[in-house]
Amino acid sequence: MLLRLAYLGVTNAFAMLRLLPMSDRDKCAEILALRHQVTLLERQLGKGKARSTPSDQAFLAALLHRLPLHVLRRLRLLIRPDTVLRWHRTLIVRRHA
């Protein structure tokens, strides 16, 4: 899981480098989240319902937790914004436990 999380972090960091000239952080986070969701769906193509792994959840929670709730609600996400916030709270609890 940690290797997968590191891989996702590095690949998305390179994706973020392409977005540096853009000044709006909300757009950058939204684009990265959407790309990650497309990758998640491509991995599970033909397997029925899309399921996220703990590393997918950690990455999306870390990426989206800084966005205001009204921005999160406008995003086209596979999961509800409240779920992302719950994942982030779980990550914080595990980190400080």
- pLDDT tens digits for range 9-37: 888 887 777 556 555 777 777 788 888 88
Q: What pLDDT score was predicted for residue 18?
A: 57
The phi-psi region of residue 63 (left if phi > 0; otherwise alpha if psi is between -120 and 50; otherwise beta) is alpha
The pLDDT-based confidence of 50 (bands split at 50, 70, 90) is low
Spatial separation of the C-alpha atoms in residues 78 and 74, rounded to whole Å: 12
Spatial separation of the C-alpha atoms in residues 47 and 4, rounded to whole Å: 20
- Helices 2-18, 54-64: inter-axial angle, 10-degree rounding: 40
The phi-psi region of residue 24 (left if phi > 0; otherwise alpha if psi is between -120 and 50; otherwise beta) is beta
- pLDDT tens digits for range 51-97: 778 888 888 878 877 777 777 777 777 777 777 778 888 888 887 76
Q: What pLDDT score was predicted for residue 86?
A: 84
Average pLDDT value for residue range 39-47: 78
